[in-house]
Structure 1
Amino acid sequence: MKTFHRFVLFGLLAVFAAFFLLPFYVMLVTSLKDMNEIRNGSLLALPQALDFTSWFKAWGSACTGMDCSGLKPYFFNSLIMIVPAVAISTTLGALNGYVLTKWRFKGSELLFSLMLFGVFMPLQVVLLPMSQVLGWVGLSDSVWGLVCVHVLMGLASTTLFFRNYYIGLPDELIKAAMLDGAGFFRIFWRIVLPLSTPILVVTVIWQFTNIWNDFLFGVVFSGADSKPITVGLNNLANTSSSVKEYNVDMAAALIAALPTLAVYVLAGKYFVRGLTAGAVKG
């Protein structure tokens, strides 16, 4: 009976997994077909031959509006933006969590409560004031303006993650280091940060996914030469032509999704471990 129940359970899980992965399968096989095969064949049929022409076109020559250089410039804009944005927001979140748990001061709990508003605040609320501030400091319509926006908008989440994780670290570690003469930053770099690997992985994956997949800030705050991959994908899919090339659109969508897919495939198990190690407790 136990074996039968397990068989039924795994069978249901397999069905749900297949249903969940079906859109990805359709996108992949469509991207590997030519247009004649797409018109005359079945949506679920495997390609008769592997044809990567649509991938090369989506990457380097597909039109996104008036520009026909594919997704390549948008992809590199996102890379240039995401590396400093993830690094800075993660570092600041770690410092904030460290201060709010191990170096508490009068009003620190109130400050943390106010910061939590950033987690639940609708993104549309900040569009106008953020655009004004970026204009005042001369960073509007630039990649570095987008970096600043994503750092500020991610700070509440990263602080929440690290604060909840650092609550579980023994205060005796900090007190012992202080007795040995270690200061604020030395304790952080030598003791706290080496113990933070699980939550660092969680935060980096979280920030990477949110920033890479963001469309709202990308379309509002970017200029002609600083648009991220999501804006480029939208422009490519909505560019009118005499023939709608579904294989190119599917290849472009997969190219845009590859970095986040790679991150979760390579580091997904560490993400789950980090969450269970304390990222959402407290």
Structure 2
Amino acid sequence: STPARRGSMMKSGVVLALFYALLLTNYATGASSPKLVILWPEDIEEENLDRTFEKIQGASSIHLQGNFDKGTNSSALQHALSSVPDLRHLTIDPFHDLGNGERAQHVTHTRTLVRSLPKPNKLESLKVSGLHVHDQLDVMTLSKAISSCESLRTLHIDPLNVGYRDVQSMDPFFGALAELEGLTDVHFGLFTFGNEEFADALASEGLRRLREAENLPTIRLNTASGNRILTTASEAARRAAILAASRDKRRSGSSQPKEVPAGSKVEQRLADVTVEDRNRIEEDYECGDDDDESDDERDEL
């Protein structure tokens, strides 16, 4: 063959190799991309189990939609979810769209949550709607369930319905949260059936318990009477350091913040705070120069 023909064949070979490489890349990308699967209660019925097991394989995110509390094969549900090794995100939503903008409002009982958690549990995100905590036994059940989620980074429960007549304390639940070292995003929509005094008591209880956890972020808790921020020990220390430095700067008229011991926790907190953070926190917690008592009260919010 002539040199020109050999050159043409080489070019064709290169193009073909690039084409197959592109196909392999696309295939690999598709295989590794997140896979979301939505399951309905009927998917767990005996006659549908085989098809369901096939459908959920390779899923990284599963959304349980509808009322899984009644007439559901609980052992089959947990077995199905446990068969998915890559499952990292689980959403439980008992609400069912009836059409015409209406939704059937079911609830998620703690027992439903427990039997929905895979074993072993490698969840990184857990989102639950309409969770009902009726009594102290439910509190203990919920606490145990959360403790099993050792890899959890995100927890959203909204609404979290707490029975104020039969629930004496949510301390075991908050304690279980405090022990999850990787938790970075926590949100509750607390509903106590109109008993705002009980909601305030729960918020205070959660604040005291969660301050024991240095690694937890700010916990956002929405109630009927407004939004509360449960500030953990690390965040409280950071905000206190910023406020102290800001007040000292205003009193002295100096642009330099108050000096803190080298290597101290306060110094580390200040080093991690951006200018935007300082301005935002000062605006949120603006106070008088000598109003130290009100500063303490702000840390409790």
More helix by share: 1
More strand by share: 2
Output the TM-score relative to the length of structure 2.
Answer: 0.20
Output the TM-score relative to the length of structure 1.
Answer: 0.21
Instruction: Say which structure, 1 or 2, has more relative contact order (CA 8 Å, 6+ apart).
Output: 1
Larger Rg: 2
